[in-house]
Amino acid sequence: MSDSTAPRPAGGRALSVLIVSTLAFTVCFMVWMMFGVIGIPIKKQLGLNATEFGLLTATPVLTGSLIRVPLGIWTDKFGGRIVFFTLMLACVIPIWLMAYATAYWHFLVIGLFVGMAGGSFSVGTPYVARWFPKQRQGFAMGVFGAGNSGAAVNKFVAPGLVVAFGWAMVPHVYAAVLLGTAILFWFFSYHDDRHVVVSNASFVSQLQALKDPKVLKYCQYYSIVFGGYVALSLWMVQYYVGEYGLDIRVAALLAACFSLPGGVLRAIGGWLSDKYGAHSVTWWVMWVSWICLFLLSYPQTDFTIQTVNGARSFHFGLNVYGFTGLMAILGVAWAFGKASVFKYISDDYGANIGTISGIVGLAGGLGGFILPILFGLLMDATGVRSSCFMLMYGVVWVSLIWMYWTEVRKTEVMGKNAPLSPISQSFAR
């Protein structure tokens, strides 16, 4: 049997697979992020607190995360075309039924089934990558990963439907769109037997990859750049509504300033990772994230001091323009980071990319599930909306320290001449 990781000519079929897979992933991601918008009227309808709202938005993310590992393994075994098509069809009915939910537990249960759409990433990533030679896989996976912009598409489409027809119209429209996309995908995608990985390894044995320290490290990175992206995409519309008193349509539009670059610029992150290496790109991403989250963490603050002319009051805090600008920068950084993490994987685990991408995707998805719940808990406990950014700031610190000791410091100690970014070199000194 030929090597499934051998370079493939990126011809017309490869391009068709890339385009139609990216479209399918965009629609799946749009569906996955549905509660980020319709959750706001549902929250009002059911009288939910911040923690309950966090659980509501995070429930689909849980299923979409847990299913990523088996989907990655099945993609290796059966091929991406049939797995991707079957997954989309399986999600249509649960999405349609969402419109008929009335109780909180209805939304949670149906949301678990809708969440399967989020597992499409671990199908499309190895499916697309194997159609391209190794030196172009970073760019190809970056283009496919730009389907994350489905989070922004959701913010453009759903608010108008909510205002015009009510939130229940959104699941009906999304179910129809997903069905049409599945049919389109089937007719314009292809299968190549050479891309199928023949392996007798069991599901449990393939999970042994979690014992690899590098895999755990990539999971940590991805829990920020993807898990954080998912969590904040779900959280930002209601954040704008609560913090700045905006209409849901304006709030969704501004929230898209984070979601849109966080998705579409992933292809550029793949190109940069191909050119400069996964480490250099990821290192810069973490530092930019650290700076942005530090500034975003500062809550709206009023204080009074005594001066020679009497008491004088001051106010510190980000206005809506400064806040949106920082969120846009953060979205760009995380777009690059999502691509660079998977460049690590294609470099180190080319023969097992389906399983490893599934495991790392699982970690990122679990981050997207846990973080909104923690955001809600912190909000209910402290009353400080920016506490969500304080939490993310701490998570980024962990990655920076881990990366320094395992990559930057290790390179210095071993005396290797591996190319490092300028900030890596200065930090290593």
For the stretch 140-175, pLDDT in tens is 877 887 787 888 888 889 998 998 899 999 999 999
The one-letter amino acid code at 173 reads V
In this structure, are residues 137 and 13 in contact, taking their beta carbons and an 8 Å threshold?
no
| Domain-wise residue ranges, the chain | 13-191+205-303+314-428
Per the structure block, which two tokens stand in for 127? 């499916």
Per the structure block, which two tokens stand in for 156? 């453009």
Q: What is the pLDDT of residue 1?
A: 35
Q: What is the pLDDT of residue 198?
A: 64
Question: pLDDT tens for residues 354-373?
Answer: 677 778 878 888 888 899 99
Q: Among the listed ranges 129-133, 185-189, 261-265, 294-298, which one has the minimum average pLDDT value?
A: 261-265
A 10 A CB-CB count for 155 gives 28
Q: What is the pLDDT of residue 326?
A: 94
250/246 Cα distance (integer angstroms):
6
What is the distance of C-alpha 158 from the center of its chain? 19
Q: Report the range out of 88-92, 303-307, 424-428 with the highest average pLDDT.
A: 88-92
13-191+205-303+314-428: what CATH class?
A: mainly alpha
Query: Among all chains, which residue has been given the structure tokens 């539009």?
Result: 253
Distances (CA, A) of 65 to 122, 142, 206, 384: 9, 20, 17, 29
Q: What is the pLDDT of residue 412?
A: 58
Cβ-count burial of 250 within 10 angstroms (0-12 exposed, 13-18 middle, 19+ buried)?
middle
162 or 211: which leads in pLDDT:
162
Strand-strand pairing, 301-307 and 310-316: antiparallel
Question: pLDDT tens for residues 8-59?
Answer: 444 688 889 999 999 999 999 999 989 989 999 999 999 999 999 999 999 9
Question: pLDDT tens for residues 268-289?
Answer: 887 888 888 888 898 999 999 9
Q: What is the pLDDT of residue 348?
A: 76
357 or 255: which leads in pLDDT:
255
Q: What's the whole-model pTM score?
A: 0.78
Q: What is the pLDDT of residue 413?
A: 55
Q: Mean pLDDT in the chain?
A: 84
Q: What is the pLDDT of residue 170?
A: 94
What secondary structure letter does DSSP report for 3?
-
* Residue of 136, 324, 366 lying closest to 236 (CA atoms): 324
* Angle, CA of 156, 33 and 224, to the nearest 5°: 115
Q: Which residues of 356-374 are buried (b: 16+ CB within 10 A; e: fewer)?
A: bbbbbbbbbbbbbbbbbbb
**Total residue length of the chain:** 429
31 or 210: which leads in pLDDT:
31
